[in-house]
Amino acid sequence: MLSIEDHCLQETAVTPHWTPGGDSFWYRQKLDDDKYQFMFVHAADKIFRPAFDHGKLAKELGQKTGIDFDHHQLPFLWIEITPDGNTARFLAKGKKWEYETELVEWDGPFNQESNSLMQVEEPSDALSTSPVRVRFTNQTEGTLNLIWINFEGEPKHYGAIRPDEARSQETYSGHCWRLEDASSGKIKAIYHVPDTGHDAVIVNEPSPEDDAKSGDEAKNSARENEEKMPDGETSKINLDIQQYNLWMSETGTDGTLRTQLSKNGTEEQPYDKIMVFKSPDDKFAIAWQFTPEQESSLHLLNYAPDDQLQPKLTKKQYLKPGDRVRVDRPRLFDLGTKTEIETSDALFANPYQMISLGWGVKDGKPEYRFIFNERGHQLMRVLAMGLDGTVRVLIEEKSGTFINYANKLSYEVLKESNMMIWASERDGYNHIYLVELEKGKVKNQITQGQWNVCDVEHVNEANQRIWVSAYGYRKDEDPYHLNLVRVNFDGTGCQALTEGDGTHVWKWSPNNHFFVDTWSRVDLPPRTAVRSSETGSVQLMLHERTAHDLKENGWDPPERFSAVGRDGETLIYGIIIRPPQFDKTIMYPVLEDLYSGPHDFFTPKGFESLSRFREWASEGYIVVKLDAMGTNWRSKKFHDVAYKNLKDAGLPDRIAWTKEAAKTRPWMDLSRVGVMGVLLEGRTPYRHCSITATFTKRQSQIQDVTTTG
């Protein structure tokens, strides 16, 4: 049975399917029970209406098929609509239909495809924490198997979807799903989950036109990937890796001449086949030699394997702290003399990670650029390798604690201006800087203030404008609220384009002129508007639910609460969930859901069901959740508490926060405090129990409900 929150989420969800041009879209609006209607939105013309006359279409479809249809339970879940919204096309009962003023059969190809479908499968992102509810609809002729691609790239079967049926699936952004024909095993779609909260995927049977288009696209892609000379002619020089070394092939009138360029490649230190980069003038090349990561096995015992009765021991490659990671070494070659140009790795020794940025220009000559992340994560550089073999520093980041490469490494190379947008915490918050790559220095800081740039969303180099997602931009709101901010290259004109007290999620139009903005809080239902990406002004308001609407149906919202932490200054933010049929005259035990990993924050900010917390609360607990010092996306100082100090886990802040909450909530019984969590194999919650016992003075009544997996 769906919760009040889940019902609200379904009824307010807007998943835009943009038409060509990007000014209009349709979406499916959930009504009561299993009913829904298709809505059409024209952002530029400010039109918001049903996509068609549902009653008239249902009647005509019934006449043509001999089946009666409820106009809010039509036998299709996906449509294709023209940009003006006047014509809708769909697949129902094995036939294609077109509806403008009347319903007719149609035999054309569907052209509007999901931009979340991919050509190549990849492992799911293991670090993603953003839940997404996806509705998969099977519009093919056969049953589809729904398969999740796990973190190691292995397929895991999640069930089947019969023709003309749909299935809702809980997943996470960054995860990958495969949909394949259950009979033939042919892959019908590969889906990469976007960070949208909700999404819909329609899997259609490819038409002959689609197959032909796919073949043409593959040929065009191959032609585009051919190396080009500056004058546009196809290169006569090709590079490849053979016998662990770099080879060059020259095509001339006398045939093809093969030359071995490198001599030091071995099985232990080969050259990487995909890391070979020719300079734009075809005169030089960079090839990466590498030492593979060491073999380090993790043994796992599967007690219930699919293919046998006995437990099965499996082994997988799994690096542990201190193990050797892959070590990359870019090398420079002169294709004219067919020799390696000597270079020094003094500026990029002991790498944890190297990232290629490709070729750039300095003083009119090519130079190769790359990012060096030193092992230990206290030094990061953007480097350039010149044609004479010299290596220079373009950007350098240093930290006495750690550089947050996993979450805050963000950059954008601007080809036209030979500059780079670079994210850094050098001033105490994560902000972006404009770097002159030719000079190797910062031109100016683009954003600044006591807030954090989360990511660069969009760059308009011609107009010198940047759109970024930002935490804490609005000082009068929760610092974990996400907003969309626009700023000029020189740092002027910085403004939030999203408005409304809550955390925002948005979906861009293909032309980047508009975005669909949804904002909410744990105590505020979602509200959705279409906004201008230039001014943030509301073009159309699509949904606006209030907390009062839900409270009338018995909803008890979580309570947001903040209190100062251990330092007596910094606010710690969390939520409090009460049991059903809450009675303020009763004293309830307190249960904290604890996870203090330094890579993110973990207290829900947007409207959601909070089903796990609700289940614990239904057992008679006051459930609390908060983010203490040492977690991510506050100041650098706030984050640094975790440095070589994971055992701290923010426990002093958690105790201070809980005590402060109980001062004005006498129904919180601090003589009975429980902790559940998964950090450090359960040692953190156990330590919290021990420390909590000290301040409650009632150790015997503390409950340890730790889970470790």
Question: What tens digit of pLDDT does each residue of 359-401 get?
Answer: 999 999 999 999 999 999 999 999 999 999 999 999 999 999 9
Tokens of 417: 């201006």
Does the structure show a pLDDT above 50 at 708?
no
Does the structure show a pLDDT above 90 at 628?
yes
pLDDT band at 549; cut points 50, 70, 90: confident
Instruction: Kindly state which CATH superfamily the domain 117-220 is placed in.
Output: von Hippel-Lindau disease tumour suppressor,  beta domain (2.60.40.780)
Q: DSSP letters of 352-415?
A: EEEEEEEEEEETTEEEEEEEEEETTSSEEEEEEE-TTS-EEEEEEEE-SS---HHHH--EEEET
Q: Which residue from 447, 434, 427 is spatially nearest to 395, judged by alpha carbons?
A: 434
- Burial degree of 594 (CB within 10 A; 0-12, 13-18, 19+): buried
Q: Which residue from 488, 495, 537 is spatially nearest to 515, judged by alpha carbons?
A: 537
Question: First CA to last CA across the chain, in angstroms?
Answer: 27
Which of helix, strand or coil describes residue 601?
coil
Does the structure show a pLDDT above 90 at 528?
yes
Q: Which residue from 100, 96, 116, 123 is spatially nearest to 108, judged by alpha carbons?
A: 96
Least confident span in 316-325, 403-412, 600-609, 685-694: 685-694
Which of helix, strand or coil describes residue 12?
helix
| pLDDT at residue 230 in the model | 46
| pLDDT at residue 679 in the model | 60
Q: Which residue from 490, 399, 380 is spatially nearest to 442, judged by alpha carbons?
A: 490
Q: Which residue from 180, 178, 179, 176 is spatially nearest to 194, judged by alpha carbons?
A: 176
Average pLDDT over all residues of the chain: 90
pLDDT band at 691; cut points 50, 70, 90: low
| pLDDT at residue 399 in the model | 98
Q: At residue 640, what are phi and psi to the nearest 5 degrees?
A: -65, -15
Domain 556-704 in the same topology as domain 117-220: no
Does the structure show a pLDDT above 80 at 680?
no
> For 553-561, which contacts have Cβ atoms below 8 Å and span 24 or more sequence positions?
553/4, 554/4, 555/4, 555/5, 556/580, 556/582, 557/522, 557/523, 558/522, 558/523, 558/604, 558/610, 558/613, 559/523, 560/478, 560/521, 560/522, 560/523, 561/657, 561/661
Domain borders along the chain are 117-220, 237-304+315-398, 556-704
- Report how far residue 422's alpha carbon sits from residue 410's, in angstroms, rounded to the nearest whole number: 6
- Report how far residue 187's alpha carbon sits from residue 190's, in angstroms, rounded to the nearest whole number: 8
| pLDDT at residue 83 in the model | 96
- Tens digits of residue pLDDT in 405-458: 999 999 999 989 999 999 999 999 999 999 999 999 999 999 999 999 999 999
Least confident span in 249-263, 427-441, 495-509, 521-535: 249-263
- Report how far residue 51's alpha carbon sits from residue 39's, in angstroms, rounded to the nearest whole number: 5
How do 482-488 and 495-496 pair as beta strands? antiparallel
Residues above pLDDT 90, as percent of the chain: 74
- Report how far residue 325's alpha carbon sits from residue 291's, in angstroms, rounded to the nearest whole number: 8
Instruction: Map 245-288 to HEC letters.
Output: EEEEEEEECCEEEEEECCCCCCCCCCEEEEEEEECCCCCEEEEE
| pLDDT at residue 116 in the model | 61
Q: Which residue from 324, 268, 327 is spatially nearest to 296, judged by alpha carbons?
A: 324
Q: Domain 237-304+315-398, what architecture?
A: 8 Propeller (2.140)
Does the structure show a pLDDT above 80 at 299?
yes
| pLDDT at residue 124 in the model | 86
Mean predicted confidence (pLDDT) in 672-686 = 70
| pLDDT at residue 15 in the model | 86
Mean predicted confidence (pLDDT) in 103-121 = 77
Tokens of 476: 């009068």
Q: Where does 556-704 sit in CATH, by number?
A: 3.40.50.1820
Least confident span in 92-96, 118-122, 533-537, 608-612: 118-122
The maximal CA–CA distance of the chain, rounded, in angstroms, is 96
| Other CB atoms within 10 A of residue 15 CB | 19
Helix (H) or strand (E) holding 695: helix 683-696
Q: Which residue from 699, 673, 686, 663 is spatially nearest to 589, judged by alpha carbons?
A: 673
Q: Across the strands, what pairs with 485? A: 468, 496
HSE of 441, CA atoms in CB hemisphere, 13 A: 2
Q: At what angle do helices 651-663 and 683-696 cross, to 10 degrees?
A: 40
Mean predicted confidence (pLDDT) in 652-666 = 97
| pLDDT at residue 700 in the model | 35
- Tens digits of residue pLDDT in 276-291: 999 999 999 999 999 9
- Burial degree of 355 (CB within 10 A; 0-12, 13-18, 19+): middle
| pLDDT at residue 219 in the model | 41
Mean predicted confidence (pLDDT) in 574-599 = 96
Does the structure show a pLDDT above 60 at 231?
no
